[in-house]
Amino acid sequence: MKALPNTTPAAGKRLSPRPSQGVEHGGDLTAVRARFPDAPEPWIDLSTGINPVPYPVPALPTEAWTRLPERAQEQALIAAAARRYGVTDPTTIVAAPGTQALIQTLPRLLSQSRVAILGPTYEEHEVCWRRQGHETTIVTDLDQTTDADVVVLVNPDNPTGRLVAVEDMPSPSKLLVVDEAFIDLLAPACSLAGNLPPNTIVLRSFGKTYGLAGVRLGFAIAEPETADRLRLEFGPWAVPGPALELGRLALDDDGWLNATAERLTADRQRLDDILVEAGFTILGGTPLFCLAEHPDASTFVERLGRHGIHIRRFRHQPRWLRFGLPGSDAAFERLRNSFSN
Protein backbone atom coordinates (compact mmCIF):
# COMPACT_ATOMS: atom_id res chain seq x y z
CA MET A 1 0.00 0.00 0.00
CA LYS A 2 1.67 3.26 -0.98
CA ALA A 3 1.66 6.46 0.99
CA LEU A 4 -0.92 9.03 0.01
CA PRO A 5 0.46 12.07 -1.81
CA ASN A 6 0.82 15.43 -0.04
CA THR A 7 1.36 13.97 3.39
CA THR A 8 4.36 13.71 5.63
CA PRO A 9 6.22 10.46 5.07
CA ALA A 10 6.33 8.00 7.93
CA ALA A 11 10.14 7.99 8.02
CA GLY A 12 11.54 10.30 10.65
CA LYS A 13 8.29 10.40 12.63
CA ARG A 14 8.51 9.11 16.17
CA LEU A 15 5.81 7.66 18.31
CA SER A 16 4.88 9.92 21.17
CA PRO A 17 6.57 9.27 24.52
CA ARG A 18 5.86 6.18 26.57
CA PRO A 19 2.35 6.47 27.99
CA SER A 20 3.48 6.54 31.60
CA GLN A 21 5.90 9.29 30.87
CA GLY A 22 8.34 9.81 33.68
CA VAL A 23 7.80 6.41 35.26
CA GLU A 24 10.91 4.25 35.17
CA HIS A 25 10.53 0.58 34.32
CA GLY A 26 12.97 -2.24 33.87
CA GLY A 27 12.90 -4.65 30.98
CA ASP A 28 13.65 -2.57 27.90
CA LEU A 29 16.93 -3.79 26.44
CA THR A 30 16.69 -1.67 23.29
CA ALA A 31 17.43 1.53 25.21
CA VAL A 32 20.29 0.10 27.25
CA ARG A 33 21.86 -1.53 24.17
CA ALA A 34 22.01 1.93 22.62
CA ARG A 35 23.76 3.29 25.72
CA PHE A 36 26.38 0.52 25.74
CA PRO A 37 26.94 -0.29 22.08
CA ASP A 38 30.16 -2.21 22.76
CA ALA A 39 28.72 -4.50 25.43
CA PRO A 40 28.94 -8.25 24.76
CA GLU A 41 25.84 -10.05 23.50
CA PRO A 42 23.57 -11.56 24.57
CA TRP A 43 22.63 -9.08 27.24
CA ILE A 44 21.66 -10.43 30.65
CA ASP A 45 18.55 -8.58 31.78
CA LEU A 46 18.44 -8.38 35.57
CA SER A 47 16.38 -5.18 35.49
CA THR A 48 13.03 -6.86 36.24
CA GLY A 49 11.67 -9.24 38.84
CA ILE A 50 10.59 -11.74 36.23
CA ASN A 51 11.57 -15.39 36.67
CA PRO A 52 14.30 -15.99 34.05
CA VAL A 53 13.39 -19.70 33.69
CA PRO A 54 9.86 -19.50 32.27
CA TYR A 55 7.07 -22.00 32.34
CA PRO A 56 7.57 -23.91 29.07
CA VAL A 57 5.13 -22.69 26.41
CA PRO A 58 3.54 -25.71 24.69
CA ALA A 59 1.98 -25.66 21.22
CA LEU A 60 -1.42 -24.13 21.88
CA PRO A 61 -4.60 -25.32 20.19
CA THR A 62 -5.28 -23.39 16.97
CA GLU A 63 -8.65 -22.30 18.36
CA ALA A 64 -6.90 -20.30 21.09
CA TRP A 65 -5.67 -18.00 18.32
CA THR A 66 -8.52 -18.12 15.86
CA ARG A 67 -11.73 -18.05 17.87
CA LEU A 68 -13.16 -15.40 20.14
CA PRO A 69 -12.35 -16.50 23.70
CA GLU A 70 -15.34 -18.34 25.11
CA ARG A 71 -16.90 -17.98 28.51
CA ALA A 72 -16.09 -21.59 29.37
CA GLN A 73 -12.38 -21.01 28.72
CA GLU A 74 -12.36 -17.99 30.98
CA GLN A 75 -14.15 -19.98 33.68
CA ALA A 76 -11.50 -22.71 33.44
CA LEU A 77 -8.73 -20.12 33.88
CA ILE A 78 -10.54 -18.56 36.84
CA ALA A 79 -10.98 -22.00 38.42
CA ALA A 80 -7.23 -22.65 38.13
CA ALA A 81 -6.47 -19.22 39.60
CA ALA A 82 -8.93 -19.82 42.46
CA ARG A 83 -7.23 -23.07 43.32
CA ARG A 84 -3.73 -21.59 43.04
CA TYR A 85 -4.51 -18.52 45.13
CA GLY A 86 -6.70 -20.31 47.69
CA VAL A 87 -9.83 -18.40 46.73
CA THR A 88 -13.06 -20.26 47.46
CA ASP A 89 -15.53 -18.12 45.51
CA PRO A 90 -14.59 -17.79 41.82
CA THR A 91 -17.07 -14.92 41.36
CA THR A 92 -14.57 -12.79 43.30
CA ILE A 93 -11.82 -13.26 40.68
CA VAL A 94 -11.49 -11.03 37.61
CA ALA A 95 -9.00 -11.96 34.88
CA ALA A 96 -7.41 -9.03 33.06
CA PRO A 97 -4.81 -8.53 30.33
CA GLY A 98 -2.03 -7.84 32.83
CA THR A 99 -1.95 -6.42 36.34
CA GLN A 100 -0.98 -3.04 34.87
CA ALA A 101 -4.37 -2.96 33.11
CA LEU A 102 -6.02 -3.43 36.51
CA ILE A 103 -3.87 -0.70 38.06
CA GLN A 104 -5.05 1.61 35.26
CA THR A 105 -8.67 0.69 35.95
CA LEU A 106 -9.02 0.73 39.76
CA PRO A 107 -8.96 4.55 40.09
CA ARG A 108 -12.04 4.70 37.83
CA LEU A 109 -14.14 2.79 40.36
CA LEU A 110 -14.24 5.60 42.92
CA SER A 111 -15.18 9.26 42.99
CA GLN A 112 -12.45 11.67 44.01
CA SER A 113 -10.67 10.26 47.06
CA ARG A 114 -7.69 10.76 49.31
CA VAL A 115 -5.32 7.96 48.39
CA ALA A 116 -2.37 6.99 50.58
CA ILE A 117 0.27 4.81 48.97
CA LEU A 118 2.82 3.05 51.13
CA GLY A 119 6.05 3.90 49.41
CA PRO A 120 8.36 4.36 47.77
CA THR A 121 6.99 1.53 45.64
CA TYR A 122 5.96 0.59 42.10
CA GLU A 123 5.28 4.06 40.72
CA GLU A 124 2.37 3.25 38.41
CA HIS A 125 -0.03 3.11 41.35
CA GLU A 126 0.49 6.77 42.18
CA VAL A 127 0.53 7.86 38.53
CA CYS A 128 -2.76 6.10 37.75
CA TRP A 129 -4.68 7.32 40.80
CA ARG A 130 -3.45 10.88 40.26
CA ARG A 131 -4.31 10.83 36.57
CA GLN A 132 -7.94 10.08 37.46
CA GLY A 133 -8.08 13.17 39.67
CA HIS A 134 -7.52 11.59 43.07
CA GLU A 135 -5.38 13.21 45.74
CA THR A 136 -2.38 10.98 46.32
CA THR A 137 0.14 10.92 49.15
CA ILE A 138 3.13 8.65 49.48
CA VAL A 139 3.41 7.56 53.10
CA THR A 140 6.28 5.64 54.61
CA ASP A 141 4.33 4.13 57.48
CA LEU A 142 0.84 2.68 57.77
CA ASP A 143 0.26 4.93 60.82
CA GLN A 144 0.10 7.82 58.34
CA THR A 145 -2.86 6.33 56.45
CA THR A 146 -5.59 7.07 59.00
CA ASP A 147 -6.98 10.04 57.05
CA ALA A 148 -7.02 8.27 53.70
CA ASP A 149 -10.15 6.97 51.93
CA VAL A 150 -8.04 4.55 49.93
CA VAL A 151 -4.81 2.81 50.91
CA VAL A 152 -2.57 1.15 48.34
CA LEU A 153 0.26 -1.14 49.27
CA VAL A 154 2.47 -3.53 47.38
CA ASN A 155 2.98 -6.65 49.49
CA PRO A 156 5.69 -7.79 49.54
CA ASP A 157 6.92 -4.42 48.42
CA ASN A 158 8.75 -3.83 45.17
CA PRO A 159 11.63 -3.02 45.52
CA THR A 160 12.20 -3.25 49.30
CA GLY A 161 10.51 -6.59 49.98
CA ARG A 162 8.84 -5.13 53.09
CA LEU A 163 5.99 -7.44 54.08
CA VAL A 164 2.94 -6.19 55.96
CA ALA A 165 1.36 -9.01 57.98
CA VAL A 166 -2.28 -9.82 57.28
CA GLU A 167 -3.26 -8.78 60.80
CA ASP A 168 -1.60 -5.36 60.40
CA MET A 169 -3.52 -4.36 57.26
CA PRO A 170 -5.26 -0.98 57.47
CA SER A 171 -9.06 -0.71 57.00
CA PRO A 172 -9.63 2.52 55.08
CA SER A 173 -13.17 3.81 54.68
CA LYS A 174 -13.43 3.21 50.93
CA LEU A 175 -10.89 0.74 49.62
CA LEU A 176 -7.73 -1.18 50.44
CA VAL A 177 -5.67 -2.21 47.41
CA VAL A 178 -3.01 -4.85 48.05
CA ASP A 179 -0.80 -5.56 45.06
CA GLU A 180 0.53 -9.06 45.69
CA ALA A 181 2.53 -9.21 42.46
CA PHE A 182 5.50 -10.88 44.19
CA ILE A 183 3.72 -12.99 46.85
CA ASP A 184 3.37 -16.26 44.92
CA LEU A 185 6.38 -17.96 46.47
CA LEU A 186 5.86 -16.78 50.04
CA ALA A 187 3.78 -18.73 52.58
CA PRO A 188 0.07 -18.74 51.58
CA ALA A 189 -0.80 -17.15 54.94
CA CYS A 190 0.97 -13.95 53.81
CA SER A 191 -1.74 -13.35 51.20
CA LEU A 192 -5.18 -11.82 51.66
CA ALA A 193 -6.50 -13.72 48.65
CA GLY A 194 -7.93 -16.63 50.62
CA ASN A 195 -9.63 -14.53 53.25
CA LEU A 196 -10.54 -11.20 51.72
CA PRO A 197 -11.41 -8.39 54.17
CA PRO A 198 -14.32 -6.08 53.25
CA ASN A 199 -13.61 -3.23 50.80
CA THR A 200 -10.40 -4.84 49.63
CA ILE A 201 -8.99 -5.60 46.19
CA VAL A 202 -6.05 -7.96 45.91
CA LEU A 203 -3.99 -7.99 42.70
CA ARG A 204 -2.13 -11.11 41.60
CA SER A 205 0.30 -11.23 38.66
CA PHE A 206 0.83 -14.22 36.43
CA GLY A 207 3.83 -13.18 34.35
CA LYS A 208 6.46 -12.72 37.06
CA THR A 209 6.52 -16.09 38.81
CA TYR A 210 5.86 -17.99 35.59
CA GLY A 211 8.42 -15.97 33.63
CA LEU A 212 5.81 -15.08 31.00
CA ALA A 213 5.53 -11.30 31.23
CA GLY A 214 4.80 -11.00 27.50
CA VAL A 215 1.54 -12.91 27.93
CA ARG A 216 -0.05 -10.05 29.93
CA LEU A 217 -2.24 -11.75 32.51
CA GLY A 218 -3.26 -10.60 35.95
CA PHE A 219 -6.10 -11.06 38.39
CA ALA A 220 -8.09 -8.93 40.79
CA ILE A 221 -9.77 -10.56 43.76
CA ALA A 222 -12.60 -8.42 45.10
CA GLU A 223 -16.06 -8.63 46.60
CA PRO A 224 -18.54 -9.88 43.97
CA GLU A 225 -20.10 -6.47 43.37
CA THR A 226 -16.72 -4.82 42.84
CA ALA A 227 -15.61 -7.74 40.68
CA ASP A 228 -18.70 -7.17 38.49
CA ARG A 229 -17.81 -3.47 38.18
CA LEU A 230 -14.30 -4.41 37.06
CA ARG A 231 -15.62 -6.89 34.48
CA LEU A 232 -17.82 -4.13 33.05
CA GLU A 233 -14.81 -1.83 32.74
CA PHE A 234 -12.96 -4.44 30.68
CA GLY A 235 -15.88 -5.73 28.63
CA PRO A 236 -16.04 -9.02 26.74
CA TRP A 237 -12.99 -10.97 25.49
CA ALA A 238 -10.57 -8.99 27.67
CA VAL A 239 -8.08 -11.84 27.99
CA PRO A 240 -6.70 -13.27 24.72
CA GLY A 241 -7.19 -16.96 23.92
CA PRO A 242 -3.49 -17.90 24.23
CA ALA A 243 -3.33 -16.28 27.68
CA LEU A 244 -6.46 -18.13 28.83
CA GLU A 245 -4.99 -21.44 27.72
CA LEU A 246 -1.44 -20.94 28.93
CA GLY A 247 -2.54 -19.37 32.22
CA ARG A 248 -4.78 -22.32 33.01
CA LEU A 249 -2.07 -24.88 32.20
CA ALA A 250 0.57 -23.10 34.25
CA LEU A 251 -1.59 -22.28 37.27
CA ASP A 252 -2.69 -25.93 37.43
CA ASP A 253 0.89 -27.23 37.43
CA ASP A 254 1.91 -27.84 41.03
CA GLY A 255 5.04 -29.77 40.12
CA TRP A 256 6.54 -26.96 38.09
CA LEU A 257 5.80 -24.38 40.78
CA ASN A 258 7.32 -26.47 43.57
CA ALA A 259 10.51 -27.12 41.59
CA THR A 260 10.67 -23.43 40.69
CA ALA A 261 10.31 -22.33 44.31
CA GLU A 262 13.20 -24.58 45.28
CA ARG A 263 15.43 -23.35 42.47
CA LEU A 264 14.65 -19.70 43.12
CA THR A 265 15.48 -20.02 46.83
CA ALA A 266 18.90 -21.40 45.98
CA ASP A 267 19.47 -18.85 43.23
CA ARG A 268 18.48 -15.92 45.41
CA GLN A 269 21.08 -17.04 47.98
CA ARG A 270 23.68 -17.36 45.23
CA LEU A 271 22.86 -13.83 44.02
CA ASP A 272 23.10 -12.39 47.52
CA ASP A 273 26.48 -14.06 48.05
CA ILE A 274 27.85 -12.50 44.87
CA LEU A 275 26.56 -9.05 45.83
CA VAL A 276 27.92 -9.22 49.38
CA GLU A 277 31.27 -10.34 48.00
CA ALA A 278 31.19 -7.28 45.73
CA GLY A 279 30.69 -4.99 48.72
CA PHE A 280 26.92 -4.50 48.60
CA THR A 281 24.61 -4.43 51.60
CA ILE A 282 21.46 -6.50 51.06
CA LEU A 283 18.43 -4.40 51.97
CA GLY A 284 15.70 -6.88 51.11
CA GLY A 285 13.82 -8.36 48.21
CA THR A 286 11.60 -11.25 47.28
CA PRO A 287 12.32 -14.70 45.83
CA LEU A 288 12.49 -12.97 42.41
CA PHE A 289 14.80 -10.04 43.10
CA CYS A 290 17.25 -8.56 45.55
CA LEU A 291 17.49 -4.92 46.59
CA ALA A 292 21.07 -4.01 47.41
CA GLU A 293 22.81 -0.82 48.48
CA HIS A 294 26.23 0.52 47.65
CA PRO A 295 27.73 4.02 47.99
CA ASP A 296 29.01 3.72 44.40
CA ALA A 297 25.84 2.26 42.92
CA SER A 298 25.95 4.42 39.80
CA THR A 299 29.49 3.24 39.05
CA PHE A 300 28.23 -0.32 39.12
CA VAL A 301 25.43 0.50 36.67
CA GLU A 302 28.07 1.68 34.21
CA ARG A 303 30.40 -1.24 34.85
CA LEU A 304 27.68 -3.85 34.50
CA GLY A 305 26.34 -2.07 31.43
CA ARG A 306 29.73 -2.36 29.75
CA HIS A 307 29.57 -6.08 30.56
CA GLY A 308 26.13 -6.39 28.96
CA ILE A 309 24.23 -6.72 32.23
CA HIS A 310 21.15 -4.55 32.75
CA ILE A 311 20.03 -3.78 36.30
CA ARG A 312 17.44 -1.49 37.82
CA ARG A 313 18.34 1.76 39.49
CA PHE A 314 16.13 4.25 41.28
CA ARG A 315 16.04 7.95 40.54
CA HIS A 316 15.19 8.92 44.11
CA GLN A 317 17.45 6.37 45.81
CA PRO A 318 20.81 6.67 44.07
CA ARG A 319 22.49 4.11 46.37
CA TRP A 320 19.94 1.40 45.62
CA LEU A 321 20.15 -1.22 42.89
CA ARG A 322 17.66 -3.99 42.22
CA PHE A 323 18.96 -7.25 40.78
CA GLY A 324 16.71 -9.85 39.18
CA LEU A 325 17.91 -13.44 39.19
CA PRO A 326 20.39 -14.71 36.61
CA GLY A 327 18.83 -17.64 34.75
CA SER A 328 21.81 -19.94 34.30
CA ASP A 329 25.22 -20.83 35.72
CA ALA A 330 26.78 -18.90 32.85
CA ALA A 331 24.77 -15.80 33.70
CA PHE A 332 25.74 -16.05 37.38
CA GLU A 333 29.38 -16.31 36.36
CA ARG A 334 29.17 -13.31 34.06
CA LEU A 335 27.68 -11.29 36.89
CA ARG A 336 30.39 -12.37 39.32
CA ASN A 337 33.15 -11.68 36.79
CA SER A 338 31.78 -8.27 35.90
CA PHE A 339 32.32 -7.20 39.52
CA SER A 340 35.94 -8.36 39.61
CA ASN A 341 37.06 -7.22 36.13
Site residues for a second copy, window 11-30 (CB under 8 A)?
Answer: 13-16, 18-20, 23, 25-30
Tell me the H-state helices in 169-317: 224-234, 241-251, 254-277, 297-306
DSSP for 173-209, written as a single string: SSEEEEE-TT-TTS-GGG-STTSPPTTEEEEEESTTT
- DSSP annotation of 135: E
CA 94 to CA 234: how far, in whole Å?
Answer: 10
- DSSP annotation of 94: E
Cβ closest to a second copy, residue 54 vs residue 172: 54
Amino acid occupying residue 178? V
**Binding test (CB under 8 A) with a second copy, winner from 31, 165, 187, 266:** 31
CA distances from 40 to 225, 278, 332 (A): 52, 21, 15
Among candidate residues 320, 283, 284, the one with its CA nearest the CA of residue 301:
320
**Binding test (CB under 8 A) with a second copy, winner from 40, 133, 224, 279:** 224
Instruction: Tell me which residues in 118-137 interact with a second copy (CB under 8 A).
Output: 124, 128, 131
Cβ closest to a second copy, residue 172 vs residue 305: 305
Instruction: Tell me which residues in 233-252 interact with a second copy (CB under 8 A).
Output: 233-243, 246
CA dihedral of residues 248, 165, 53, 76 (deg, nearest 10): 0
Cβ closest to a second copy, residue 63 vs residue 302: 63
Asked if 226 touches a second copy (CB under 8 A), the answer is no
Helix (H) or strand (E) holding 31: helix 29-35
Instruction: Tell me which residues in 100-119 interact with a second copy (CB under 8 A).
Output: 100-101, 103-104, 108
**Binding test (CB under 8 A) with a second copy, winner from 39, 44, 46, 69:** 69
The interface mask with a second copy, positions 157-186, x = CB under 8 A, is ------------------------------
CA distances from 161 to 154, 180, 333 (A): 9, 11, 25
Asked if 215 touches a second copy (CB under 8 A), the answer is yes
**Binding test (CB under 8 A) with a second copy, winner from 43, 91, 137, 253:** 91
The interface mask with a second copy, positions 253-282, x = CB under 8 A, is ------------------------------
Least Å distance, CB 239 to a second copy, is: 8
The interface mask with a second copy, positions 292-321, x = CB under 8 A, is ------------------------------
Helix (H, G, I), strand (E, B) or coil at 306: helix
